[in-house]
Amino acid sequence: MTPNLHLWLVPVLPLIGAAINGLFGKRFSRPTVTAIAWGFCGAAFAWALWAVAQFVSAGAAPYSEVDAHWIRAGGFQADFAFYLDRLSVVMVLVVTGVGFLIHIYAAGYMWEEGGFYRFFSYLNLFMFFMLTLVLANNYLLMFIGWEGVGLASYLLIGFWFVKDSAAAAGKKAFIVNRIGDFGFLIALFLLIRHFGTLNFEQLSASISPMGMETAGTGLLTSIGLLLMVGACGKSAQIPLYVWLPDAMEGPTPVSALIHAATMVTAGVYMVSRSHFIFDRAPSAMMAVAIIGTLTALFSATIGITQTDIKKVLAYSTVSQLGYMFMACGVGAFSAGIFHLMTHAFFKGLLFLAAGSVIHAIGGEQDMRQMGGLRTKIPWTFWTMTMATFAIAGIPPLAGFFSKDEILWKAYSSPFGSRLYWLIGVTTAFITSFYMFRLWFLTFFGEYRGTAESGHGHGHDAHSGHGHGGIHESPKVMLIPLVILAVLSVCGGWVGINNRFENFLAPVFHAGRTAALESASAAAGEATQTAQPAEPQTEENGNETLLMAVSVFVGLAGLFLAWILYYRRPQLPQQIANAFGGFYQAVLNKYWVDELYAALFVKPLLDGSTKILWRGIDQGVIDAALDNSAEGAREVSDTMRHMQSGNLRSYAGWVAAGAAVVIGYMVWMGTR
Amino acid sequence: MVPLSYYLVLSGILFACGVVGFLIKRNIITIFMSIELMLNGVNLSFVAFAAQWHALQGQVFVFFVMVVAAAEAAVGLAIIISVFRTRETLNVDQVNLLKL
């Protein structure tokens, strides 16, 4: 039996930090604020490490603790209870570890900014909610974390709230997430209605005996689809991905922590956590896989044309999240989580390095204004190079292992198909291409910006920077870069010989019965049209072949970017001109924002303005109130003339009134 | 014996005189006297009914009315004097400070 791990400390420590900085931070000096934020976040990391060590040494059996009762209504109960199994171990280490590194980095990045204490208070608050989400032992507590990270994300995107675009981006993120949360909530209601509990272990136990829903629809399928709606919102998948690129209005450490490494992967975590539902709902699985695959390809193509360094990374994040969902959709949850982890390393690093670049040249984010920075900021260059090669899937870096695992599963899993694999490989090629495009544009060629000659310019809040000239970032920013670079290189090695998959296997195979395994295999084959099952002996050969293909496309992307953006930099413009309309469509992100604006935002806005506000609120509710007040005043206006102050007219009224009363009584009496 | 109706008609005339006097006169003292006139009109009908029905209650009522009227006269006259001291007039139309 595992000793009491006091898991509740892991989320609560950052909460204390958030409270101290949020309430009193205004009076603290910057070093004090930093010390508090680092201290509590680091303490959470340390406690998580300790808890994981205890957990592993006790045999890695799932551990659950109930810290306080929360809701007990009839047969239903939800507690403040935390749960640690192999899946949450991975998540909690990624969240606290990467989160702590980004805290360190942020102190350097935000040093010159106003609202320093506010920033760290929000950042710690985010850690609290994210750890609650990850460690919760029931969906309801998870939902608190889920909503809380949305709140923290909103606050941090709109950190520079005096900028209209930042405030609007924050609102957009919040509202789009609400749409997803709606689906999540309904899924929870369905679970309560049919199973009477939201506890993961109990749900798993009561769903495990159920068979596959092969008919295509059913309770588990609907729950799965609704959960996927929630995951689409949080993890920025089609059709709810639109908020993530806009979220780049936030400070860069926020983009790294929330919108690349941790929060946006919550959807993947939630789907993996609900594997016992998805396992039995092949239609829902297929929806997940299709959404993931499409998102991966779709946003990767947008990434090619973006010129803002953070926007490229944002679309790349959406695309990589698509990969993770593709993995979940083909039943390879552990591959999805593996990619989640390596992605947290290299994408967090990419964002932080991009922030370092932005910092170096005084707030410029447009890659057309960069170039030739390789020698000026060597540390940033080398760490970013690691991350770029990692995301492009070049062995032996982290991205290669996880991406290859996903592609192999997409090809070989009973739920997979060659089409997924084909799109996945295409996406891998595009990913490699736009990442190296970013790399060449930023670090090679001639410097095209103006920061050298004058002081900072551009549209980030860094424009107010006091020092002109290109400069390497301070050590406090470089150390996290180096650590993450090491992780981006080595992080994938845990996946060699399927060690990572085997580590997670007890989680994902716990509820699967042998019958279900064969049923899922059969169902998978039904979806795999006319594809004969690969004989076991060919599998290894196939895997090697597919691996070679994905390495090849990664290198091809590098080569193409090298030609277009290093050897012959005038070519891209010609190609763009040749493609004309298509290029415009991609450049304008397929006009999805405009489409949504026309389809949803404008009708809603018009409806609310014209019908609900002008029509009902002003026309009916306000009018009823105003008119009754007006009526009362008019009546009083006439009546007040009775109050003349003339004593005799009062007496007259009394006499007349008495006469009327007496007359009435006489009339009644004589009738 | 004088019929009851005679008393009642006289009582009504007295009361009507009181009402009319109250309404048309401006002098507070006159108004005050009109009130007394109305009270006495009522008193007359009380005693008339008491005599008619041989009931003592009517007589008793009259005593009560007289007592109240006396008290009222005491208070009322005091108010009138006070008003005259401050406003130097007894015209009710000019005692209208509470008017809107």
Q: What is the pLDDT of residues A256-277, one digit of tens each?
A: 999 888 999 999 999 999 999 9
pLDDT band at A183 (very low <50, low <70, confident <90, very high): very high
Spatial separation of the C-alpha atoms in residues A196 and A217, rounded to whole Å:
21
Spatial separation of the C-alpha atoms in residues A84 and A87, rounded to whole Å:
8
Put simply, the answer to whether B100 touches A651 (Cβ < 8 Å) is no
pLDDT over 80 (residue A94): yes
Put simply, the answer to whether A647 touches B95 (Cβ < 8 Å) is yes
Segment A133-151, tens digit of pLDDT: 999 999 999 999 999 999 9
Segment A475-511, tens digit of pLDDT: 889 999 999 999 999 888 888 878 888 888 888 876 5
User: Quick check: helix, strand or coil at residue A128?
Assistant: helix
C-alpha distances in Å from residue A215, one per residue of A220, A512, A657: 11, 19, 84
Segment B77-88, tens digit of pLDDT: 999 999 899 888
The tokens for A45 are: 């990391």
Say how many residues make up chain A: 671
Spatial separation of the C-alpha atoms in residues A40 and A131, rounded to whole Å:
13
pLDDT of residue A454: 38
Nearest CA in chain B to A652: B23
**Contacts of residue B96 in chain A, CB cutoff 8 Å?**
645-647
pLDDT of residue A527: 45
Crossing angle of helices A499-509 and A86-109, in 10° steps, is 120
Spatial separation of the C-alpha atoms in residues A166 and A156, rounded to whole Å:
9
Segment B13-62, tens digit of pLDDT: 999 999 999 888 888 899 999 999 999 999 999 999 999 999 899 999 99
- What is the pLDDT of chain A when averaged over all its residues? 86
Spatial separation of the C-alpha atoms in residues A458 and A362, rounded to whole Å:
8
Nearest CA in chain B to A644: B99
Q: Between B23, B95, B96, which is nearest A652 by CB?
A: B23
Put simply, the answer to whether B100 touches A655 (Cβ < 8 Å) is no
Segment A285-344, tens digit of pLDDT: 999 999 999 999 999 999 888 889 999 999 999 999 999 999 999 988 999 999 999 999
Report yes or no: A270 and A328 within 8 Å, Cβ to Cβ.
no
pLDDT over 50 (residue A530): no
pLDDT over 80 (residue A532): no
Segment A571-594, tens digit of pLDDT: 778 888 888 778 888 888 888 888
User: Quick check: helix, strand or coil at residue A418?
Assistant: helix
Helix (H) or strand (E) holding A81: strand A76-84
Q: Between B19, B95, B99, which is nearest A644 by CB?
A: B99
Segment A17-70, tens digit of pLDDT: 999 999 998 888 999 999 999 999 999 999 999 999 999 888 888 888 898 889
pLDDT band at A632 (very low <50, low <70, confident <90, very high): very high
pLDDT of residue A331: 87
**Contacts of residue B100 in chain A, CB cutoff 8 Å?**
640, 643, 645
Put simply, the answer to whether B92 touches A640 (Cβ < 8 Å) is no
* Of A587, A42, A576, the residue nearest A303 (C-alpha): A587
- Cβ neighbour number for residue A618 with a 10 Å cutoff: 12
Question: ipTM of the predicted structure?
Answer: 0.76
Residue B61, Cβ density class (10 Å: 0-12 exposed, 13-18 middle, ≥19 buried): middle
The answer to whether the peptide bond before residue A480 is cis (omega within 30 degrees of 0) is no
Report yes or no: A524 and A414 within 8 Å, Cβ to Cβ.
yes
Spatial separation of the C-alpha atoms in residues A388 and A338, rounded to whole Å:
18
Put simply, the answer to whether A651 touches B93 (Cβ < 8 Å) is no
Q: Between A643, A647, A651, which is nearest B100 by CB?
A: A643
* Of A83, A80, A81, the residue nearest A91 (C-alpha): A83
Strand duo A63-73 + A76-84: pairing: antiparallel
Nearest chain A CA: its distance from B46 CA (Å): 17
**Contacts of residue B23 in chain A, CB cutoff 8 Å?**
648, 651-652, 655
Average pLDDT over residues A74-81: 87
Report yes or no: A528 and A403 within 8 Å, Cβ to Cβ.
no
